[in-house]
Structure 1
Amino acid sequence: MSGPREGASHRPVQGQTALPGKGGLVRIGRAFQNTLGGFREGLATEAAIKQEAALTVAALPVSIFVADNLWVWAALMGSFVLLLAAEFLNTAIERLCNHVHPERHEAIKVTKDLASAGVFCVIAFTTMIWILAIIDRFFV
């Protein structure tokens, strides 16, 4: 017989709801504080995030000269934002893996390798966007 588990409740946790208007600006403010904390932590402790953030800052003025319209500029800078997002997620996965299973474990290694491969794909995408934009702007 598959009925509800004893003691299980189907009510949402108090204060949590998916309905619009519940939580409002306070929830958004708290989420933004969490985001800022993530940026601070990543930039303070992760070499790859520091390097990619520095590349993003350096790319900003270069992108203005490479882009001949707003859409190309959005693609150039958006590719770096996507790269940073992938790196933050990779870092989160690595830290969670290290927390759950600190000693060497093959399944954890594979999980970390998969996350790293995701970052590599975004690096390849960013490189392609920049190369194509430079070719289009200066050689076509």
Structure 2
Amino acid sequence: MKRLYLATINSWNGLVAAARSEQAVREELVILAIAIPLAFIIGVTTARAVELILVVLLLLAIELLNTAIEKLADRLTRDHDEQIGRVKDMGSAAVLVALLMTGILWVFAIAERLGIV
């Protein structure tokens, strides 16, 4: 139980640190806060509402991993390094893919709510 408690504290501290230092994380936390009630309005079923919330949480998780990669890369060197640049670009690409997934699911859910699909 103590290990679980300490892991939870570490996770919370990481989320707070990311939110304090990264605009993208703050924006996605705002999106999550908006998405939670909105998902239950847009989702045709409870399962769809949960899916809408989970995809935003997935986006946040990928953004946190990308932030961790960037912070670690910056800690290694501030000099321009082509390989580190590519790694950072890959992390950014992962966020883009997650954003596309999130957007597509939300658009589908809105179309479903409107009876278009």
| Structure 1 and Structure 2 fold alike (TM over 0.5) | yes
- Structure 2 distance, partners of 1:139, 1:53, is 29
Which aligned runs of 4 or more in structure 1 are off by greater than 4 angstroms? none
The alignment status of 1:135 with 2:111, answered yes or no, reads yes
Correspondences of 1:1-140 after superposition (within 5 Å): 25-140=1-116
Where relative contact order (Cα < 8 A, 6+ residues apart) is larger, the structure is: 2
RMSD after superposition: 0.9
> Aligned pairs, how many?
116
Could you list the runs of 5+ residues in structure 1 that have no partner in the other structure?
Answer: 1-24
| 1:69-95 residue CA offsets vs partner (Å, 9 max, x unmatched) | 111011100010000000000000000
Q: TM-score, normalised by structure 1?
A: 0.80
**Once the 2 structures are TM-superposed, how far is the Cα of residue 139 of structure 1 from its aligned partner?**
2.7
Could you list the runs of 5+ residues in structure 2 that have no partner in the other structure?
Answer: none
Q: Which has the larger radius of gyration?
A: 1
Give aligned-pair identity as a percent: 29
- Structure 2 distance, partners of 1:62, 1:37, is 27
| Higher percent of residues as helix | 2
